[in-house]
């Protein structure tokens, strides 16, 4: 009985040490492999900032394997990607008020669902799920739209979010041979 008591105490101390120090160490290590990046757009009355972590392809098949089809993805690595707009914007006919949102996606072969959620959880996935389940709460979804997939000629090594100018401004998500662009209007 005394051995069991000491064993439980040791396990509790190790768990506490992990959550106090090990968790920040793990976050630091994952950011070395998926560095933080920022995409900004400040024109035409819009002021948008996107913060995300950019994982690398490293010879892997990304969509359909590393990032499964039909399942919510945190749209990058580490903490959820954030989308901040200083003014109200319109996305596919839906208004998105000024503010900061977490950005989630559901990749599919020919289109992606793109979700703006008003809650920003601490980490993008559940540690207990081994990273397979996101921490997104659908009750906080504000806008959800669908955008078509464009196949790229050459693969993109690191996940990239950028703004492209065309007949309007496009929020573009690129990785491997996949590009998804979503028009944004003021």
Mean pLDDT of the chain: 87
Number of folded domains that form the chain: 2
Are residues 9 and 45 located together in one domain of the fold? no
Are residues 49 and 127 located together in one domain of the fold? yes
- Across 64-73, 86-95, 123-132, 169-178, least confident range: 123-132
The whole model's pTM is what? 0.81
Task: Give me the mean pLDDT over the 4-20 stretch.
Answer: 68
Confidence category of residue 32, pLDDT binned at 50, 70, 90? low
Q: Position of tokens 């394997």?
A: 65
- pLDDT digit string, tens, across residues 54-88: 999 999 999 999 999 999 999 999 889 999 999 99
Per-residue b or e along 28-64, where b marks 16 or more CB atoms closer than 10 Å to that residue's CB: eebeeebeebebebeeeebebebbbbbbbbeeeebbe
Are residues 173 and 132 located together in one domain of the fold? yes
7: containing domain: 1-33
Are residues 127 and 58 located together in one domain of the fold? yes
Are residues 72 and 132 located together in one domain of the fold? yes
First CA to last CA distance, the chain: 68
């Amino acid at each position: 009985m005394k051995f069991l008591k000491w064993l439980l105490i040791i396990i509790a101390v190790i768990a506490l040490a992990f959550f106090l120090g090990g968790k920040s160490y793990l976050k630091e290590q994952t950011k070395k492999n998926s560095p933080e990046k920022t995409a900004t757009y400040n024109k035409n009355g819009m002021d948008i900032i996107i913060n995300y972590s950019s994982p690398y392809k490293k010879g892997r098949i990304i969509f359909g394997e590393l990032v499964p089809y039909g399942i919510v993805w945190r749209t990058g690595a580490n903490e959820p990607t954030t989308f901040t707009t200083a003014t109200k914007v319109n996305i596919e006919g839906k208004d998105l008020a000024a503010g900061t949102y977490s950005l989630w996606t559901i990749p599919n072969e020919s289109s992606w669902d793109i979700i703006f959620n008003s809650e920003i959880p601490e980490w993008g996935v559940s540690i207990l799920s081994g990273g397979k389940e996101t921490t997104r709460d659908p009750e906080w979804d504000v806008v959800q739209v669908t955008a078509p997939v464009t196949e790229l000629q050459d693969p993109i090594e690191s996940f990239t979010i950028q703004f492209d100018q065309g007949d309007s401004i496009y929020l573009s998500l690129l990785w491997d041979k996949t590009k998804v662009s979503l028009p944004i209007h003021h």
